[in-house]
A and B are shown apart, each in its own frame.
Chain A
């Protein structure tokens, strides 16, 4: 098989790179995707907060993915699903070895390759938590897959270690599905997640966030029965005497992400120990000839919007390379790594008066004072949305609910859904009850109304993903 450009990975990076290459005149493209659908990890990120930069609106992960999937399909860019690239070699041509059920093991000769395999989570081993090795320890992403794709709950009583965004998001997801999330422990004196997520994922559900705390032991031989939580000193060492046993059946680990670079390393691409991705030049080309990289395989991004942006560049550079062939490789340019989120919620904050805006990742601290005549004085916001948020929050707080519904006759087990608009926060639970009761019949398209006027709020619950018939 000979193809001009092969993209490895059909997630947000891969799709954006393919579209960009297409727009830059290279149309003989093939995307290799190991999963059964395009979209990558976005399909299990059913919460909202994506797309504020790219689409100027707030989307859920699957909705963000669908926008790209539809464009890929519209341009008729070919893709192979359930197909695993097992080896990539740079050169002219580059050689890719891949396999799937239909073709067996096959090779592709290609002028250029864009690596877009994404990243993976750090596992327990990297944390080195002593204790038994029972069932019930999941990375936050694994739990997310169980809950949001398989529609199954991994446990009832949960402790989350690590306060990265996935951990915070999963604390809310598990709570919405009926689990008791006992606490989130974070070894650093700040959270690695966004302030808005601390508010809407933890505060809303009364889940304590223990900064400067970690888990030092896992109890239970067959299934997790509890963990020892302990306070740490400024050197992150556990402080003797602060140990506390917390009973739980599930420990979720949210301990960061690492680029997934087996293929890049196999290609002989030089690696950067800082980004943990391949070394690239200003054109996002790795040191392996003809192989480009973008998205989380290059370095872990903060926002999917930035992944898409980088992938657009990679697609364009790959197209230029195919058309004009190589100039000098030039020098290595380390991609701009986003600053690590370090969220601190001011201690002793009067939550009725000092608010943290959840409108966007910035998380402005907004103060609300009342005039004598009862009118509100709102300060600290940096945009209009912030003012509106604050007004709502002190009078009638509102939230968007995202969850899943069981589906019958579909290619998958559940479809992701959301309330089309925000609903009153005190209606979340009634809303969840209706969502949990409902069963949807496939096929489903994004935007299909699945529940009308949920919990008497006047707001509909709509699908956020496309699902074909089985």
Chain B
């Protein structure tokens, strides 16, 4: 019997896994997709919120402030991209300035330091491209940006190095209480564990409802957020993350640089029934463009390189649902992890691990390795380091993705390291091949070829993300060609 089964390899599940790997525990992470970071964690704003927004006293408030403070150190320990760029909440009407005050007060109550309200002049001084209607702003220097894939993958890799087993393409079907723990039935066989962590994102309700009492059932509603991502050419249009105070148009959207130097606008907020409904819509994207135009003088819509949508795991309770399920000892929910879930992840890991440790009383893992080294980036390296990398491995001279300057060496590292990439999306999230302005037009044939070579599979078996997302047909697919009309 395992000590812990964690359901879901998103940022929360991986953060918990990594924290728990500090102890002598047998841990398995079950993930229905083919890689870590395939759900909510992959499609969000990439923001580390300062923590002024959440209602004081809530878990969201508590964990956000703590998580945001932990993030910088964690980024150094685990080597993922993070930048403290500060955030501004923009107010578009003098009449709304008291709402900024409210936010500031709330922030102070939550324990966020250094908050300051700036008038229009001061806002312009630090952010010259803001829109004409901007009247004032709440400045939070603690606000930061992070690579959500980088964070999740780093946590997972470090957990794996410290002994956590990851099982991909493993979908939980049933959970049964049994003596001393739980039996978890999946499409890949059964797992037994003394303790279970439900970090299943938008599916956390289904997992929870498998073990809870009838009256304790809850529901997670996928709340879709659509985004537009822009070319790095306009990545420095703004330096801060610009939020909006809600206006008559509704809840605002953000305009932010990403930690990799792109510009990002979004998200919309629409509750939908489909838990896999990550399609963008014409209306959604129009809304993003329209609302972004409030925050900045000119939305560079011609520089859009891609659009995407993510689903927040929204619970009706208004707060995260973290804790032991009533009547199910050792079964812990990490549910309703909508915004600011990413910011909270480091703190969530600690918080949940503490609960599990109290329950299981494990020994320390004396072999725990806290530090993880990321994949060297040729794009970011200086000339000397580039030269050194190529000397060590000539594959670092072979540029595969020219938009982001990603080399074969980096892609090989992404595939070969613990929990390595097995899909083109996996490669993309680890080293950014295909993230640039041509959106994999140039590099996808090469990445497909490298994956096929490294994984020892035919190119027709290389997939983008999930089963069925193939790039190429098997050779001679149709046998005899069909004569087209007109010849």
| A interface, CB within 8 angstroms of B | 34, 82, 84, 86, 97, 99-102, 104-105, 120-121, 123-126, 128, 130-136, 138-139, 141-142, 145-146, 149-150, 152-156, 175-180, 203-207, 216-218, 221-223, 262, 425-426, 428-429, 432-433, 436
Contact = CB atoms under 8 A, between A and B. Distances in A.
Contact of A130 (B280, B398, B405, B487): B280
A105 B445 contact: no
Nearest to A203: B486
21 contacts: A34-B402, A97-B383, A101-B390, A104-B386, A105-B383, A123-B305, A125-B229, A130-B307, A132-B278, A133-B306, A135-B463, A136-B471, A152-B460, A154-B471, A178-B482, A179-B478, A204-B484, A205-B486, A217-B282, A262-B402, A429-B483
Nearest to A429: B483
Contacts of A436: 476, 481
Contact of B285 (A130, A221, A262): A130
Contacts of B445: 142, 145-146, 149-150
B397 A101 contact: yes
B438 interface: yes
Contact of A134 (B302, B459, B464, B477): B464
Contact of A121 (B398, B403, B441, B464): B441
Nearest to B304: A125
B469 A222 contact: yes
B284 interface: yes
B487 A154 contact: no
A217 B280 CA distance: 9
Interface string B457-477: 001100111111111110111
Contacts of A153: 472-473, 477
Given A125-B305, A178-B478, A130 B282 contact: yes
Which 10 residue pairs spanning A and B have beta carbons closest together? Answer: A101-B394, A206-B485, A178-B481, A222-B468, A125-B305, A222-B469, A135-B464, A125-B306, A123-B439, A105-B387
Interface string B374-400: 000000000100110011001101110
A153 B305 CA distance: 26
A139 B441 contact: yes
Given A97-B383, A105-B387, A135 B397 contact: no
B444 interface: yes
Contact of B478 (A102, A128, A156, A218): A156
Interface size class of B (residues with CB under 8 A): 35 or more
Contacts of A84: 397, 399, 402
B478 A105 contact: no
A123 B487 contact: no
A154 B472 contact: yes
A118 to B, nearest CB: 11
Given A135-B469, A428-B487, 6 more contacts: A101-B397, A104-B387, A132-B279, A145-B445, A153-B472, A222-B466
B430 interface: no
A297 B477 CA distance: 38
B487 A426 contact: yes
Summarize B's interface: helix, strand, loop or mixed. loop
A171 B394 CA distance: 38
B449 interface: yes
B437 interface: yes
Interface string B427-468: 000000000011111101100010000000001100111111
A460 to B, nearest CB: 21
B217 to A, nearest CB: 28
A99 B390 contact: yes
A82 B407 CA distance: 12
A128 B481 contact: no
B439 A104 contact: no
Contact of A131 (B229, B280, B397): B280
Contacts of B174: none
A126 B305 contact: yes
Contacts of A216: 282
B247 interface: no
B441 A120 contact: yes
A264 B460 CA distance: 37
Interface in B127-152: none
B444 to A, nearest CB: 6
A403 to B, nearest CB: 11
B11 to A, nearest CB: 20
Given A131-B279, A180-B482, A142 B304 contact: no
B74 to A, nearest CB: 29
Contacts of A99: 386-387, 390, 397, 399
Nearest to B383: A105
A411 to B, nearest CB: 15
Contacts of B397: 82, 84, 99-101, 104-105
A178 B282 CA distance: 34
A424 to B, nearest CB: 10
A238 B390 CA distance: 51
Contact of B281 (A130, A139, A203): A130
A429 B487 contact: yes
A345 to B, nearest CB: 15
B423 to A, nearest CB: 10
Contact of A152 (B398, B403, B475): B475
B246 to A, nearest CB: 25
B396 to A, nearest CB: 8
B279 to A, nearest CB: 5
A73 B441 CA distance: 31
B276 interface: yes
A82 B398 contact: yes
A79 B52 CA distance: 59
Contacts of B229: 125
A128 B307 contact: yes
A390 B284 CA distance: 52
B308 interface: yes
Nearest to B471: A135
A101 B389 CA distance: 10
A223 B466 CA distance: 9
A206 B466 CA distance: 35
A405 to B, nearest CB: 14
Contacts of A426: 487
Contacts of B439: 123-125
A104 to B, nearest CB: 4
Contact of A223 (B307, B437, B469): B469
Nearest to B388: A104
Contact of A222 (B228, B467, B472, B477): B467
A203 B487 CA distance: 9
A242 to B, nearest CB: 15
A97 B483 CA distance: 52
Nearest to B395: A101
A427 to B, nearest CB: 9
A13 B405 CA distance: 23
B83 to A, nearest CB: 22
Residue from B398, B399, B438 with most neighbouring chain A CB atoms (10 Å)? B438
Contact of B444 (A128, A142, A176, A222): A142
B484 A205 contact: yes
B305 A102 contact: no
Contacts of B399: 34, 84, 99
Contacts of B387: 99, 104-105
A120 B442 contact: yes
Contacts of B468: 222-223
Nearest to A176: B481
B486 A206 contact: yes
B393 to A, nearest CB: 9
Nearest to B475: A152
Contacts of B485: 205-206
Contacts of B403: 262
Residue from B445, B475, B476 with most neighbouring chain A CB atoms (10 Å)? B445
A217 to B, nearest CB: 8
A222 B423 CA distance: 12
A102 B394 contact: yes
B100 to A, nearest CB: 33
Contacts of B460: 152
